[in-house]
Amino acid sequence: MIESLTRLLSLRGHNQVTSSARRAVGIIDIGSHTLKLKVFSHRPGSHPRILHSAKNSLGIMGDVLESGRFSHGTMNSLLQVLDQWLTVCNDFACTDVVLTGTAALRRASNTQELLDHVKDRTDLGVRILTPTNELQAVYEAVAGTFPRVRGLAVLNLGGGSTQVGVGDSDLLHHGFELDFGTRELTERWPWAGPFAAPDYDNMLEHVSRRVRQFISPFDLADLRVVHTGGELDFMLRCILPLSLCSLSPVHVSEISVDAFATFARDFASLDPGVVTSRFSLDPAWASGAVASNTFALAVARALNATAIAPSNYNISDGLLRQTTREPRQ
């Protein structure tokens, strides 16, 4: 159902972008675990529409954690994906293509070599985002869909770093930058088979302890954590017991922290092969699902949040919003 809806909206947007009143923009985020592409159709004074989205799980942070640099194989794989996606951007007649990079590019010792290859191959530069840049972009995108909220937390979870922002509909008041992400967890606790209860408890306690080193509880009534980066698709596929969130016309679903804690434990106890088949999940992407769930739960508990709202928003939505200064929904 999700794939059918995505294709329908993509075709609808592709027809509209041919109008002289609209233009298409492609944004590619080189994440530590996943490369993401979003192609937007934009017209001044209106909200952008997603024409196309894609992701590829390359796990480039693995190179950095192992050797401190990108291997030639990883760089070649990255360049091949960029070639394919730039063809997609051309098909949509994108007037601009923006490339960004995050933690892996910040840490690798041979990042400049990779940037030179990208420039030679695509004639495009890569903007390496600081953790503060990442958080501000994602927070602005999400907060713009909550017109009247006093307590809002946004989780931007990556393979190599994590950011959490707490504020309201208008401003980010508190930002927390964590120097680790899902990759560290999948290296230490790989989801190679069903988790035994003691192993899951050890992972959750480890993440909770690390998170509490950065984040203090907030005394905010009904604080919600918006978990970004494709989590809406994930929770819909896995049929979580979502309830209605009436505070946003876009982020309309949420789950209580207690219910999510039960799901996270039950999910980790399943066989990964069975899960990916049953819920049609990409095995490369789903390998980090247990780590992602554990992280979200630890952050929600550290903040004393009441609910977790899943979101498909990511850095790309924030960067487009900053560029076009789109009005609130």
- pLDDT per residue as tens digits for the range 300-314: 999 999 999 999 998
Angstrom distances, CA of residue 202 to CA of 196, 205, 208, 209, 271:
10, 5, 10, 11, 19
40-49, 177-186, 271-280: segment of lowest average pLDDT: 40-49
- Asked if pLDDT for residue 13 goes beyond 70, the answer is no
Query: Is the pLDDT at 143 greater than 80, yes or no?
Result: yes
- Backbone φ and ψ of 228, nearest 5°: -95, 170
Location of structure tokens 């794989």: 77
pLDDT at residue number 283: 85
pLDDT reading at 6 higher than 90: no
pLDDT of residue 328: 43
pLDDT (mean) for 123-134: 94
- Give the amino acid at 65: L
> Mean pLDDT, to the nearest integer, of 44-71?
88
Residue 42 pLDDT class (50, 70, 90 cuts): confident
pLDDT of 38 over the 90 cut: yes
pLDDT at 19 over 60: no
- Quick one: average pLDDT of 189-196? 94
Is pLDDT at 207 greater than 70 in this prediction?
yes
Collapsed DSSP state (helix, strand, coil) of residue 99: strand
pLDDT given at position 123 = 93
- What percent of the chain clears pLDDT 90, i.e. is strictly above it? 72
Are 251 and 235 in contact, with CB atoms under 8 Å apart?
Answer: no
Q: Is the pLDDT of residue 118 over 60?
A: yes
Name the pLDDT band for 10 (thresholds 50, 70, 90): very low
pLDDT recorded at residue 286: 87
Higher pLDDT, residue 325 or 110 = 110
The side-by-side arrangement of strands in the sheet containing 172-178 is 172-178, 162-167, 152-157, 224-227, 307-310, 253-256, 243-244
Range with lowest mean pLDDT among 1-15, 97-111, 137-151, 228-242: 1-15
Residues 6+ apart with CB under 8 A from 302: 208, 211, 212, 215, 216, 217
Q: For residue 285, what pLDDT is reported? A: 80
Number of H helices, E strands in the chain: 14, 12
The confidence band for 282, taking pLDDT boundaries of 50, 70 and 90, is confident
What is the reported pLDDT for 4?
Answer: 43
Look over the chain and give the mean of its residue pLDDT values, rounded to a whole number: 89
Q: Indicate if the pLDDT at residue 267 is higher than 70.
A: yes
What is the per-residue pLDDT for 18? Answer: 41
Give the domains, in start order, of the chain with CATH numbers. 2-128 (3.30.420.40), 132-315 (3.30.420.150)
Confidence class for position 21, pLDDT limits 50, 70, 90: low
pLDDT at 7: 41
